[in-house]
Amino acid sequence: DEIGALPELVKRMHNQVGAADYRMQMMPASEVKKALPLIGPDVSGGSYCPHDGHVNSLRTFRAFHTGFKAFGVDYFPERPVSAISKRGGEFRLTTPQGELRAAKVVLAAGNANQTLAPMVGLHAPMGPTRGQIVVTERTMPFLPHPLTTIRQTDEGTVMIGDSREEELDDRTLKHSISAVMADRAQRMFPHLARLNVVRSWAGIRVMPQDGFPIYDQSESHPGAFVACCHSGVTLASNHAFDVARMVAQGALEPELVGAFSARRFGGNGAANHSGY
């Protein structure tokens, strides 16, 4: 029973956050109906948090590049790093288009960190999963808040999906999985059954082995850091205001991120083979 298990899950999350102003409420179907009039009869209740939100991924990507220009960041696309070494206090990164040099290096390459991290004395045990998304044609605004499995973009399209598979091939789709997601969506909002699907795709999630972020610094290569997580948007403020500050200062603060060191995996994490 999803509704029955949700309060306990949220309670554990609240205790971990430890925030006094963290507000969440469980809502019966009647209250959900008031907030979302188009829900179907199969919806038995829900949870609501006023802090929930989502972003448009294309606009976020554009905002990154706008920020790059504003802060004088050099962006080098299509330059995969094949080797990292350190000589005389300077890191040297080998790419097909030549060598890049830097005083500090932050490995934020997602699942590829599993290959790059050992080059600087670190490890990043990853356990990536594949997920599928179904997108409908544009429709009238009906969903002002993001849900766990459904959200409506500001252009009007509806994004459906929360699948998790162990497979790592993002070139194919399993229509049986898309069908289950679509059926669940139209049970939640019956009017979605009338919409056409305009596109669907699969993607590989950046996912540490245990699902929690990995933040670490190298003892053998001072100045090298690793940062990887699944929830990049959710954790963006931590990265911008805390992790970036610590990297700039030259050391991570154990009281803030010590629990997220890859040392928590012991010697087993490095043995994981994710295909990256």
Q: Place 256 in a pLDDT band, splitting at 50, 70 and 90.
A: very high
Tokens of 108: 């934020």
Find how far residue 20's CA is from the centre of its chain.
25
- Which has the higher per-residue pLDDT, 100 or 52? 100
pLDDT above 70 covers a percentage of the chain that reads 89
Task: Report yes or no: 117 and 123 within 8 Å, Cβ to Cβ.
Answer: yes
3-class secondary structure per residue, the chain: CHHHHHHHHHHHHHHHHCCCCCCCEEEEHHHHHHHCCCCCCCCCEEEECCCCCCCCHHHHHHHHHHHHHHCCCCCCCCCCCCEEEEECCEEEEEECCEEEEECCEEECCHHHHHHHHHHHCCCCCECCCEEEEEEECCCCCCCCCCCCCEEECCCCCEEECCCCECCCCCCCCCHHHHHHHHHHHHHHCHHHHHCCEEEEEEEECCCECCCCCEEEECCCCCCEEEEECCCCCCCHHHHHHHHHHHHHHCCCCHHHHHHHCHHHHCCCHHHCCCCC
Q: Which domains does the chain have, with CATH numbers?
A: 1-51 (no CATH), 58-125+212-271 (3.50.50.60), 129-204 (3.30.9.10)
Which pLDDT does position 57 carry in this prediction?
Answer: 86
From the number of C-beta atoms within 10 Å of its C-beta (0-12, 13-18, 19+), residue 251 rates as exposed
- Write down the pTM of the prediction: 0.85
Could you give the C-alpha distances from 177 to 161, 185, 203, in angstroms and in order?
Answer: 9, 13, 14
Query: Higher confidence at residue 51 or residue 187?
Result: 187
The pLDDT of residue 162 is 86
**Is 191's pLDDT higher than 70?**
yes
Are the CB atoms for 185 and 160 separated by under 8 Å?
yes
Quote the pLDDT of residue 17.
52
- 166 vs 20: which has the higher pLDDT: 166
Please state, for a pLDDT cut of 90, what percent of the chain lies above it: 74
Q: What is the pLDDT of residues 28-75, one digit of tens each?
A: 999 999 999 999 999 999 989 888 888 888 899 999 999 999 999 999
Q: How confident is the model at residue 122 (pLDDT cuts 50, 70, 90)?
A: very high
267 — pLDDT class (breaks 50, 70, 90): low
